[in-house]
Chains A and B, each alone.
Chain A
């Protein structure tokens, strides 16, 4: 699939790093539409979410029975349900230092894996394989973390490198296959997700990955010597991986926007034929881009295994690898956008659990909200139509030309 780099339109985000956007920074008229459209997208998504909350609330359904005799009840109960759900969502995500810490811990892997998808997007590759790369990264980092005995700091570094290498290898194979044989990366990365899941199950059924004295397919936790250092002030408890995730964002930005190789990568993503004519090695870019994307997914795995010290199990990867695609899309395939989108998704997923606990609204609602937000952000024309925004511009998103070849 060929994806053009996000075309910086008149209203490009200031953070996209494109020269045109920078020049426009002082002129609010150029970026205001984007902000408005994005805010509008959130608003519409929240309004739709409000309807869903209202009509899934027992009290509201109850009041519908006598709606025509006493409609007021319906409105107050709906407002109550919506308000209690949304306030619980926000409070659960950022309401206390504890909540903020969980949000950060939850966001870190999303950011890293999302950066991997973003990087591949910019090279014109659609990396659906973050999930598989993450699983293999977690396996490698976990294995080093709980079987080897090394001095504290060295152990962490070695485990980290193992996770990165695991993810990188799993990402590089589809990239290499694409470069050499033309095998479509969408197919191969999907298949590598399944293969990775099989490898994980296979590993968990063997003694080397089994927690001693347990019959479940569950590994030991990594040793403390291999865990990320934690910052714990009062209730604010984050692991060092959060900082690494932010640094990874900066590194990807530098790579894409400032390095020669990043230029080559974006050129191949924009037009592979022209890049080949200009003497760039498209095969090398494909392989390396997928290798780096896999490495970033491997980094996301270390957040789970070395950061939160989760055991390896069949459910460890969750849906991070797939959420990463949505994160990258919401971030418009720009590094800063991906970081912000990762923070938002982390907050929503942490807040969703709190919302279910306190307001009784199912946490699946946040999945619906996330999807709606991305959908509306991607459809500026619709948002402008609904909210009567007149300004032009404000519609930058990942441009896809097609499947490519």
Chain B
């Protein structure tokens, strides 16, 4: 590719580097596509009146309201056109201001897309646009827990592919503990214990016996799948016995008074189960732990350069053990979501591949707890939207079902690109 040159006013030849050219091409094409899509959406709508509600479903408290969406669509098109103009003259700001531009374009595209989906509905009743954020938070909860577990382990230099296995065991034993104790909160304890147990297996084999951690992760998933299926098949169908083993209570939602009344985000953030509130605290906890405490510095140094860490007196394997076991706590909580946190009864393969998605979130978030949380929220958002749009006939259901995965591939290939894992991730440390 030829290096683009431009002659500035003073006649000095300013050489633009290739990265800048690539960025401009990328932005122009993305903003152009968004603008095109919005115009297509606009031209395809006959009746701009849509119904919406701020709640998760239409209730007395959250009545459906009608709105003429034409001005919103036009505003979206204007925003996209302005952004395209900025990109065309290469004046899209960088940093926080740039992020604002991306956010505005994203919101414009999203609202245009949603309005197009919900407008012109045939049928007796019109479906209302509902608030996607409560579902996003809910579905992202296990992913965030799993991603936090992944970040903790891998920042300390232990590859954790076995998140899915920890989820499964956590889900199963959360169901058992909750049924036995007749308390949903005890289910969380059961989930934590199971998650830590799998983490302990990971620790024993990875740190003590130095088994290849990729092999180990895959094997632990297979083991957890087989074991939970086996144990599930051992639970008799007799309801008298089954109720003590696999009929867990489900966590109640706890609305936080005051905060829950904030429109749109209130019900999303503050009308959830205790598990979700633990998740908020965990994100903060892990971030602070990794980046603000001595232990975090040690853990990260052990993950980047164990030899150097050892030289200054850090017990490499002890720190790694602590990170792996602490990760097990979070992964077990994430597993508990699939039984006591949502549906209740444990079914075969209850976590349905969510552990792999959490792993993807870790890599997408570049091994940073905040980044991984954002990636997990993106997944949760896609899953929620997919579930909501499935009731409309605008988009074929199969395409909709595939959309979260397509979004991931596009995001990873187009925006995240090459990532740099912790340097000593997966390398056992042997003191020489």
Residues of A within 8 A of B (CB): 1, 3, 52, 56, 126, 128, 177, 180-184, 186-188, 190-192, 194-195, 198-199, 201-202, 205, 322, 325-326, 329, 362, 364-368, 370-372, 374-375, 378-379, 381-382, 397-405
Contact = CB atoms under 8 A, between A and B. Distances in A.
Nearest to B398: A202
A26 to B, nearest CB: 30
Given A182-B418, A182-B419, A194 B405 contact: yes
Greatest chain A CB density within 10 A among B353, B357, B398 is at B398
A188 B413 contact: yes
B280 interface: no
A405 B418 contact: yes
A403 B421 contact: yes
Contacts of A126: 214
Contact of B417 (A1, A183, A365): A183
Interface in B204-240: 205, 209-216, 218-220, 222-223, 225-227, 229-230, 233-234
Nearest to B360: A187
Interface residues of B, number: 55
Interface of B: 154, 159, 205, 209-216, 218-220, 222-223, 225-227, 229-230, 233-234, 353, 356-357, 359-360, 363-364, 396, 398-399, 401-402, 404-406, 408-409, 412-414, 416-427
A191 B425 contact: no
B226 A56 contact: no
Contact of A400 (B401, B406, B412, B426): B426
A179 B94 CA distance: 28
Given A181-B414, A184-B412, A194-B402, A368 B211 contact: no
B359 A186 contact: yes
B284 to A, nearest CB: 26
A322 B161 CA distance: 14
A392 to B, nearest CB: 15
Contacts of A128: 356
A375 B223 contact: yes
Given A198-B398, A405-B421, A368 B227 contact: yes
A329 B217 CA distance: 11
A194 B353 contact: yes
B212 A181 contact: no
Given A368-B226, A378-B212, A398-B212, A186 B418 contact: no
Given A183-B416, A188-B412, A202-B396, A382 B209 contact: yes
B165 to A, nearest CB: 9
Given A177-B409, A378-B216, A403-B363, 20 more contacts: A126-B214, A182-B418, A184-B419, A186-B359, A187-B363, A187-B409, A188-B413, A191-B360, A198-B401, A322-B222, A364-B230, A368-B227, A370-B222, A371-B222, A372-B223, A375-B211, A375-B216, A379-B205, A398-B212, A402-B425
B230 A368 contact: yes
Contacts of B229: 362, 364, 367
B223 A402 contact: no
B396 A367 contact: no
A50 B161 CA distance: 28
Contact of A183 (B159, B225, B233, B412): B412
Q: Would you call the interface of chain A mostly helix, strand, loop, or mixed?
A: helix
B216 to A, nearest CB: 7
B400 to A, nearest CB: 9
Nearest to A1: B214
A397 B417 contact: no
Contacts of B209: 379, 381-382
A174 B132 CA distance: 31
B421 A205 contact: no
Nearest to B364: A187
A325 B218 contact: yes
Contacts of B409: 177, 183, 187-188, 191-192, 195
A404 B353 CA distance: 23
Contacts of A370: 222, 226
Contacts of A181: 413-414, 417-418
Given A183-B413, A367-B225, A52 B230 contact: yes
Nearest to A176: B413
A400 B359 contact: no
Contacts of B359: 186-187, 190
A201 B420 contact: no
A367 B405 contact: no
B204 to A, nearest CB: 8
B12 to A, nearest CB: 34
B223 A371 contact: yes
A371 B402 CA distance: 30
Given A56-B234, A183-B409, A198-B402, A378 B215 contact: yes
B303 to A, nearest CB: 10
21 contacts: A1-B214, A180-B413, A183-B413, A183-B416, A191-B360, A192-B405, A194-B405, A195-B406, A195-B409, A362-B234, A364-B229, A367-B230, A368-B226, A371-B222, A371-B223, A378-B216, A379-B211, A398-B214, A400-B215, A402-B421, A403-B426
A187 B412 contact: yes
Nearest to B361: A187
B101 to A, nearest CB: 23
Contacts of A367: 222, 225-226, 229-230
Nearest to A198: B402
State the 7 A-B residue pairs at the shortest beta-carbon distance, nearest first: A367-B226, A182-B418, A202-B398, A371-B223, A198-B402, A402-B426, A403-B421
Contact of A191 (B226, B408, B424): B408
B420 A405 contact: yes
B365 to A, nearest CB: 11
A3 B427 CA distance: 11
A397 B214 CA distance: 11
B223 A400 contact: no
B118 to A, nearest CB: 23
A397 B212 CA distance: 8
